Amino acid sequence: MFRNKPVIYGGMDLPLIDFFAPSREDYIRGIADVAGDVEATGKIELALSELDFLQDYTKNFPSGAKVKIKDEDLQRIEDCFYNLRLAARGINNARVALKARGVATLPEVHIRRAGGTIANKLHTLKLGLGDKIEARLFGPIGGNDEFGNKTFQLKHLKDSHIKLYPGDLFLPEAGHSFIIIENGDRKILKTPAPKLKKLLQGREAEITGFIKGCGVVLIEASSISEVKFGFDIFEQMARTAMQNSKKIFFSPPTDADQLYPKPKKDINEERARITRNRSIFNEIINYEHTAIMTMNETELVMMFGEYDEARGNLSVSSRDDANFTTAIKNLQDRLRKKLTSVNSKDIEPLAFVSFGKLGAYAITASHIIFEPAQKIKAIIDTTGAGDAFASGCIIKRNEIIERTKPHNFSEPELREMLTHGETLANRVIAQYGAQIVYR
């Protein structure tokens, strides 16, 4: 699949920062363990105070919510997570000293940068393919560096063997997210993201040159809405990749607003916007070098379903759902049509569709394969599981190509890909953080 160690590019993705901490009860028990250690006690009390604030701030947010932090609350939230990270360092340092004294009940505090979907995928691809690829992340990193975000994120990228491009684009005002998990309930606080379109004006030639230097381009349509960098920059990157015959791995939009009109907006403007969006998405899908598409069940239905009513009925709970089965058929039809434009020497295009705890699909022009989900003993955090699944399928696809050099994939080979993707997804689910930890 890969020749001459190509660059895999992931674009316009703002990293997330995750903070995972023990429960209040663990902290309270910890105070007894560090009795006499004034600094460690102070750090634990600071953490407890901030956890009380977070609990009160998020108490009315529904489970699974992604909530945009109000401008007037942003500084307090930044202060809160800075204090929690500061407390975590003190607590972890105290753990080392306490362990040496035979006291080992103070729990470890986990702080990890989660990435964002493209960074997560690059991390796993680099983990699985190693020196066969060079991984680059296009986009800024953000957060007020007074809180150490720049150093924190750059170190993580270095540890993940991902190169940031352009390296000078650190934006104090750039958006990032805080993920809070308590008793299995996940809530995400998102800081306001800037309109990167303005920040990247004048760098169009630089962006084009970067794409031309890549061998494989990961195109994530979700970045349009999440990062708010402007559709025209997304379009420029996609068209540059296609005009220069770059291989594309594509993921359709996550946000329904990219495919359906926003309510309470001018309907003519919305139709024009949606027509433009769907046009470029369809170009990418039909492009002869779009080798792989990865998505979840909702993204599949949004992109390939046949209904165009109000967006309220987008969730999919069953494999028998009419919209879902129609979308699967439509996706396979699109893959069949692509085969007529794909060079006979190329490997057939395929798609992977994850369906959460039910399992996942691999789809080609001639196969629709479903693999039930593997059993997992405990679910700690599902953040990033879909990204790990997609990358795991791609990694196994590469291994199969190197091993057998097929033109078309067999059913057993497709099941191998799905199984490997689910295995890596389960590694993420069984740990804190959205990226598999290097060991």
Least confident of 5-9, 90-94, 328-332, 364-368: 5-9
**In this predicted structure, what is the pLDDT of residue 219?**
85
* Residue 329 vs residue 150, higher pLDDT: 329
User: 127 pLDDT band (50/70/90 cuts)?
Assistant: confident
Question: If DSSP states are collapsed to H, E and C, what string results for the chain?
Answer: CCCCCCEEEEECCCCCEEEECCCHHHHHHHHHHCCCCHHHHHHHHHHHHHHHHHHHHHCCCCCCCEEECCHHHHHHHHHHHHHHHHHHHHHHHHHHHHHHCCCCCCCCCEEEECCCHHHHHHHHHHHHHHHHCEEEEECCEECCHHHCHHHHHHHHHHHCCEEEECCCCEECCCCCEEEEEECCEEEEEECCCCCHHHHCCCCHHHHHHHHHCCCEEEEECHHHHHHCCCHHHHHHHHHHHHHCCCEEEEECCCCHHHCCCCCCCCHHHHHHHHHHHHHHHHHHHHCCCEEEEEEEHHHHHHHHCCCCCCCCCCCCCCCCCHHHHHHHHHHHHHHHHHHCCCCCCCCCCEEEEECHHHEEEEECCCCEEEEECCCCCCCCCCCCHHHHHHHHHHHHHHHHHHHHCCCCCCHHHHHHHHHHHHHHHHHHHCCCCCCCCCC
**In this predicted structure, what is the pLDDT of residue 19?**
41
Task: Taking residues 48-59, report their average pLDDT.
Answer: 79
Task: Taking residues 50-67, report their average pLDDT.
Answer: 78
**In this predicted structure, what is the pLDDT of residue 360?**
95
**In this predicted structure, what is the pLDDT of residue 29?**
54
Residue type, 336: R
* Residue 22 vs residue 200, higher pLDDT: 200
User: 142 pLDDT band (50/70/90 cuts)?
Assistant: low
**In this predicted structure, what is the pLDDT of residue 353?**
95
Task: Taking residues 424-433, report their average pLDDT.
Answer: 84
Backbone angles phi, psi at 177, to 5 degrees: -135, 150
CB neighbours of 30 closer than 8 A, spacing ≥ 6?
Answer: 22, 44, 91, 105, 106, 107
User: 307 pLDDT band (50/70/90 cuts)?
Assistant: low
Average pLDDT of the residues of the chain: 75
Domains and CATH numbers, the chain: 7-15+116-173+193-429 (3.40.1190.20), 22-108 (no CATH)
Task: Taking residues 153-174, report their average pLDDT.
Answer: 67
* Residue 34 vs residue 398, higher pLDDT: 398
User: 7 pLDDT band (50/70/90 cuts)?
Assistant: very low
340 has pLDDT over 80? no
Q: Quote the CA–CA distance of 279 and 237 in Å, as a whole number.
A: 15
Its pTM stands at 0.80
The per-residue pLDDT for range 258-267, each reduced to its tens digit, is 888 777 788 8
Of all residues in the chain, the percent with pLDDT exceeding 70 is: 69
27 has pLDDT over 60? no
The per-residue pLDDT for range 82-118, each reduced to its tens digit, is 777 777 777 767 777 667 766 555 555 555 544 577 7
Task: Taking residues 10-31, report their average pLDDT.
Answer: 44
Q: Quote the CA–CA distance of 316 and 398 in Å, as a whole number.
A: 31
Q: Quote the CA–CA distance of 390 and 326 in Å, as a whole number.
A: 22
**In this predicted structure, what is the pLDDT of residue 8?**
36
Least confident of 19-23, 135-139, 315-319, 417-421: 19-23
138 has pLDDT over 50? yes
350 has pLDDT over 80? yes
232 has pLDDT over 50? yes
